[in-house]
Amino acid sequence: MLIKRRDDIVPSEITPRPLFERRREFIKALGAGSIAGALGLGSGAAQAGARLAGIQRGPFGTDEKPTSFKDITTYNNFYEFGTDKYSPAEKAGRMKTQPWAVAVEGLVHKPRTFAIEDVLKLAPLEERIYRLRCVEGWSMVIPWVGFPLEKLLRQVEPLGSAKYVEFWTLYDPKSMPGVRLPVLDWPYVEGLRLDEALHPLTLLAVGLYGEELPNQNGAPLRLVVPWKYGFKGAKSIVRIRLTDKQPETAWMKASPGEYGFYSNVNPEVDHPRWSQATERRIGEFFKRKTLMFNGYGDQVARLYTGMDLRKYF
Amino acid sequence: MPGQPSPKQLAALKAAVFVLCLAPLAGLAWGAFHDALGANPIEVITRDLGTWTLRFLLITLAVTPARKLLGWHWLLRLRRMFGLYAFFYGALHLATYLWLDQFFDWMAIAKDIVKRPFITVGFAAFVLMVPLALTSTNAMVRRLGGRRWQRLHRSVYAIAVLGVLHYWWLVKKDITQPLIYALLLGGLLGVRAWWLAREKQRQLRAGFQPVTYTSPGSR
């Protein structure tokens, strides 16, 4: 397989982030804040994270134009901070991401709790420009920074009996106003089959656009599974548990007929209430066709050989 | 505004309300032009036009209860405008779907209307609004006769119910917002049901034959 590379400079450094911020100031100067407020929009204050050092270019990148830093960090689904897209950027700042530890446990030889600083030392950081397709019908292109989840899982040596991996998001009612409502069965739990979790595309992300993850994007540590709908990528992970039983995820519990365990991007299997054939790429005017496995079929289709993807949606 | 405003005051009031009702659209246009609608402006525009359709339906349905409770009979003179604004925002809402969501792919649209319950009810609500908008003129009221006109325009109750259902079925999980609209609509319809029941009882007690005719203005 040919992977195109542009060797000189990583795209995150080309993208003129300061331009977006200047634009925001310009709009503010015109009084847009009041209009946006009246329309129920936040000011979209994205916090600036520290730059991550030593990022290498990773494989599987796309040549598609990355979505702007501003859009990636102001249009989020992170229900712990409210169910509308603009709440996480406004409210996630309250979440404390230092100190942070993630427990990796369950069916493993060497269960261990990692401090975030130690997680960062497990493998070289890579930039991976992935498409992200939300189950709601929109998509983005995001230059993530992280390393394959496999590197972390190898550290704890999964037992032969381990078949699945669970990911638990932080549950902290003090800093997460959204968990006061029983919208989902908190804490947020997601899961993968072990072979999916060990796939080289599956990323443990710690940053985007060359910087530490903003809180609203799942700081300090989140899962990115680019061939699945976005909600599979658990944010702000505090616990990873290997099991022999298929995890019951938060969205499966909330609506089992609408959200399955696999949730692979599939234009032919509609959400019961809306079509999944097309998507709106953020920043584009018209919708585009959704690709099977979000365009990662060459890499992942073999994981599902012989499976009825309508049944295992 | 206590009592009855003069014709001049009423004309001024109507003009002011007319302009005010355009404010949501102006806000969206301004926001779109100045890139102040967030990352997904088309979603914001579509949703906002939809919620304003629902809000104008509720405002229209609030006129009669407000009149009865507050005695502001002049409110009735604004009701047609509110109803037509509901239709106006509903038409724009539908247009964003046909154009920006589906780009006039009529096959896909037809499939959507049949297959997706939330689109089915939303589309039905719009279709039911069309005859009400067409018969909103004084000439049409006269042509139909007050009684028939009123019977036709009672479909606004069904339209509002379908509108709330449309909203309810489209949200992913958090039903707080559609619930608010459902409760408001429940209140507006409930108070009518209660008045109707009370009126029937009163007539029974008085030994009158129930009177069914009412002028179009007193609904």
pLDDT tens-digit series, residues B28-60 = 999 999 989 999 999 999 999 999 999 999 999
If one counts the domains in chain A, the total is: 1
Is A23 in CB contact (< 8 Å) with chain B?
yes
Residue of B nearest to A181 (CA): B174
Chain B environment of A75 (Cβ under 8 Å): 38-40
Interface of B with A in 127-166 (CB under 8 A): none
Instruction: Tell me, yes or no, whether A190 lies in a domain.
Output: yes
For A6, the token pair is: 């542009």
Is B179 in CB contact (< 8 Å) with chain A?
no
Is B42 in CB contact (< 8 Å) with chain A?
yes
Dmax (CA) of chain B = 66
Instruction: Out of B38, B43, B117, name the one closest to residue A44 (CB).
Output: B38
Contacts of B136-139 spanning 24+ positions with Cβ under 8 A: B136/B80, B136/B83, B136/B84
| Mean pLDDT in residue range B114-135 | 96
For B38, the token pair is: 């967030």
| The pLDDT of residue A234 | 98
Nearest Cα residue to B47 out of B84, B107, B87, B92: B92
Contact B116 A30 (CB under 8 A): no
- The answer, yes or no, to whether residue A2 has pLDDT greater than 60, is no
Instruction: Tell me, yes or no, whether A4 lies in a domain.
Output: no
Is A230 in CB contact (< 8 Å) with chain B?
no
Instruction: Tell me, yes or no, whether A155 lies in a domain.
Output: yes
| Mean pLDDT in residue range B3-13 | 88
Three-state SS at B103: coil
Instruction: Tell me, yes or no, whether A2 lies in a domain.
Output: no
CB contact at 8 A, B215 and B141:
no
d(CA A281, CA A284): 5
Is B48 in CB contact (< 8 Å) with chain A?
yes
A240: CATH: 3.90.420.10
* ipTM over the 0.90 cut-off: no
Chain B environment of A39 (Cβ under 8 Å): 27-28, 31, 36-37, 44, 48
Contact B36 A184 (CB under 8 A): no
- The answer, yes or no, to whether residue A3 has pLDDT greater than 80, is no
| Dihedral sign, Cα of residue B138, residue B144, residue B147, residue B150 | negative
Nearest Cα residue to B189 out of B162, B152, B149: B162
Residue of A nearest to B44 (CA): A39
- Is the bond preceding residue A187 a cis peptide, omega within 30 degrees? yes
Interface of A with B in 171-200 (CB under 8 A): 181, 183-184
A215-250, pLDDT tens digit by residue? 999 999 999 999 999 999 999 999 999 999 999 999
Is A271 in CB contact (< 8 Å) with chain B?
no
pLDDT tier at B102, thresholds 50, 70, 90:
confident
Mean pLDDT, chain B, whole residue set = 92
Say which residue the tokens 């247009």 belong to: B95
| CB neighbour burial string for A10-29, b if at least 16 within 10 angstroms, e if fewer | bbbeebebeebeeebeebee
Residue A225, domain extent: 11-304
Amino acid at site A84: D
pLDDT tier at A50, thresholds 50, 70, 90:
confident
Alpha-carbon distances of B185 from B87, B130, B166, rounded to whole Å: 17, 21, 14
| The pLDDT of residue B200 | 92
Instruction: Out of A39, A75, A181, name the one closest to residue B40 (CB).
Output: A75
Secondary structure (DSSP) of A30-62: TTHHHHHHHTT-----PPPPPBPSSPEEPSS--
Nearest Cα residue to A60 out of A125, A143, A121, A139: A143
- The answer, yes or no, to whether residue A190 has pLDDT greater than 50, is yes
Nearest Cα residue to A267 out of A289, A299, A282: A289
d(CA A102, CA A114): 5
pLDDT tier at A74, thresholds 50, 70, 90:
very high
